[in-house]
Amino acid sequence: MSPALSRRLGAALGLKPVTPAERSRVLRARRAEDWGDLPASVQKLVLDIEGRPDVTAGQVQAAAGMDTHPGGEELKHYWLHGEGAAKWSTWTELYHHLLKYLSPGMAKRTAAEWFHERYGDWPGSDTNKVRHGKPPRGHLVGPG
């Protein structure tokens, strides 16, 4: 593949929103040496992709799982690794702290995600209940 074609396809796939199927169709055509060697259907697809607006940095961060709300990553760092980490040990404690900054629904989801990230268990799981001295719901704890 010529460097120019490689750069063109790389820019189209790297800066534009594409589906996995579109990406696969373009990458399968990578044996082509020049633009004229690409099948007409792939040329049309690449032109369509090039006409789309560029993906913003925020969209890339959101797709990667980063919090794109203003101050979101700082809030997460504070409550998971900073001074706020010492202020909670249960989901309920974290939830009540987060209510000062987030809506109730968002605080529930965020508290569950951060609890899971910190302890490795989801808040309502049997392994979490047993770790806190409560009986499990069934006879087995963990995969059964």
Asked if residue 86 and residue 33 are part of one domain, the reply reads no
| pLDDT tens, residue by residue, 1-36 | 566 666 666 666 666 666 777 777 777 776 677 777
Residue 78 covered by a domain: yes
In whole angstroms, give the CA distance from residue 77 to residue 67.
Answer: 11
Which pTM does this prediction carry?
A: 0.48
In a domain, 12, yes or no: yes
pLDDT for residue 76: 83
Classify residue 20: in a domain, yes or no: yes
Residues contacting residue 88 through CB under 8 Å, at least 6 positions apart: 79, 94, 97
Whether residue 44 is contained in a domain is answered as yes
Euclidean distance between the first and the last CA atom of the chain, given in angstroms as a whole number: 52
Is 86 found in the same domain as 38? Answer: no
Of the candidates 120, 121, 118, the residue with the CA atom closest to the CA atom of residue 81: 118
What pLDDT sits at residue 78? 86
Q: Which domain holds residue 39?
A: 3-50
What does the pLDDT look like over 97-108, one tens digit per residue?
Answer: 999 888 898 889
The helix/strand/coil state of 67 is coil
Mean pLDDT in residue range 112-126 = 87
Least confident span in 13-22, 32-41, 80-89, 132-141 = 13-22
Q: How many domains does the chain have?
A: 2
56 by DSSP, 3-state: which?
coil
